[in-house]
Structures are given as C-alpha cells and as structure tokens.
Amino acid sequence: MTLRISTLALAAVLTLGLAAGVPAAWAQTGTVTLSTHDQALVKQAVDYLQSLQDVEGRFEQTNPRGAISTGDIFLRRPGKARFQYDPPSGLQVVSDGKTVSVYDSRLKTFDRTPLGATPLAILLASKVRLDQDVEVTRVGAYEDGFYLSARNANGQAQTEGYITLVFGSNPTVLRGWTLVDGQGQATRLKIISLKPQPINPDLFVLKDPRTPAEKGEGVKPAAVKKPKAKAEPDAKPAAD
C-alpha cells in the first residue's frame, strides 16, 4: 500500500462527493478569485481551525471503492493526528507532526511519508494561512454551513492532491473533509462527533510493530536444487 492520500487515508480523496452530504458537483477544482463573501468564509474557517487544540471524536470514512469504515479520531494541533480504525479494518494512521505513518495489521504493511507532502498539512499547520503557500480553489455555502477546497501551491506539491474542508455554521464546527490524491481518487471522512479532550501524547507515536519476519528481513531464499547430471551411456566400440 502506498501512502498517498488515497489511504485516508486520512486514508485519502472526488468521485464520491464531499463529506457531510455536500453535493459532488461542489467538489471541483480550479483557481478562483474570491469574492468578499468568500474571503469572509475563509477567515471563518481559519479562525475556527486556529482555535482547535486537543480534540477527539468519532468518524465515518468512505474510500474510493465505496467501502465504509469507522473509528476514533484524535487531533492535536499543530501537526498531530491519529485515526484509529475499528475492526476488522486493522488500519492505524498517525501524524507525529513531521511524518504520517500508516500501519495495516491485516496486510502487515507499514508506510511513511512527510506530512508536508499531503493536504492534511493544511489542516494541521501551526499557523493556518490560506493566503500563503496554499491555493484556495473553491469556496461555497450550503443551507447550514460552507466548504472550501485548498491545495499546496508550491511546485510539485500540486500533483499530490487537495483537501475540501466542510464546516457547519452557528456555531462553526468541522464536519469532515474529502481528500483527493494525485490520481483523482477521493476518500471522504465525516466527523460524527468531536469534543475538546486532553490526549495522551503517546497516541501520536507509531513505530513499525512488524516482526523481522513480517518485514521480510533475515529470511534466506530457499536453496535451488540443481538437477542431477544424467550419467553418460557407455561408449560403443567403433565398428570394424
């Protein structure tokens, strides 16, 4: 499993539409000129995200194939997050502030990628700035909330995908997001609950738990037996 946003995989993420029931047509990209109203919504989102510190809750994720999984979410801004998936998934996704690690206990795989190479860096940045190094590609409102799409604006990072954040209004609350990878594969995450809660810092550490055998280390390749050479038949005496 490669650690692109398709794993969230936080897993992960446009063909399925946005989280929290936002119409799929709104999940389109393209550079836009923000109106005064759009700028006000962006500021509202930034102020809310900047206020988040330690929060935990529950989530429901839909992957690009339509499969649904649930689990616990832990956020500690800046930089740290944990997605603990319920059985039978066996998936853990952890950001320690610099690196995003993904462990799949069923497939026995462990992958790492820099946090800055994923759109999650926008959500977890120490100072949320949607006007610097970030390109806001779409802003819109719906009946009781709003959404915005953003991606890293620096060079090759544009090919790594983007994130669409979905918010509720009155009060402002994060309802979920859709992550889209460089191949256009969309994973949507709906936040079921989210509340302030002190979090054990150990939750944001994920070391490779695999045994050497599971990593394929120290396993000698099976010896290849050479076929036995056939005995040469006795030479017949030459004819007179």
CB within 8 Å of 136: residues ≥ 6 apart: 32, 34, 42, 130, 148, 149, 150
Model confidence pLDDT, tens digit, residues 151-160: 776 644 444 6
Pairwise pLDDT comparison (33 vs 47), residue with the higher score: 47
What pLDDT is recorded for position 15?
A: 23
Share of the chain above pLDDT 70, in %: 71
For the chain, domains (ranges, CATH) are 19-205 (2.50.20.10)
Contact 41, 141 (CB under 8 A): yes
Q: Give Cα 147 to chain centroid, integer Å.
A: 19
- Range 167-175, long-range pairs (CB < 8 A, 24+ positions): 167/44, 167/45, 167/48, 168/20, 168/144, 169/144, 169/145, 170/144, 172/44, 172/45, 172/47, 172/48, 173/48, 174/48, 174/49, 174/52, 175/19, 175/20, 175/145
What pLDDT is recorded for position 92?
A: 93
Q: What band does 222 get if pLDDT is binned at 50, 70 and 90?
A: low
- pTM (global) more than 0.85: no
What pLDDT is recorded for position 118?
A: 74
Model confidence pLDDT, tens digit, residues 87-116: 998 899 999 999 999 999 888 899 999 988
Contact 115, 100 (CB under 8 A): yes
Residues linked to residue 155 through DSSP beta bridges, in sequence order: none
What pLDDT is recorded for position 3?
A: 36
pLDDT above 60: residue 33: yes
Model confidence pLDDT, tens digit, residues 223-232: 556 666 665 5
Distance CA 9, CA 22 (A): 19
Closest CA to 124 of 185, 183, 83: 83
As a whole number, the mean pLDDT across the chain is 77
Average pLDDT of the residues in 115-141: 77
Q: What band does 132 get if pLDDT is binned at 50, 70 and 90?
A: low
Model confidence pLDDT, tens digit, residues 143-191: 899 999 887 766 444 446 788 999 999 899 999 999 887 788 899 999 9
Give one DSSP letter per residue of 178-231, joined into a string: EEE-TT--EEEEEEEEEEE----GGGG-------HHHHTTT-PPPPPPPPPPPP
What pLDDT is recorded for position 126?
A: 79
What pLDDT is recorded for position 153?
A: 66
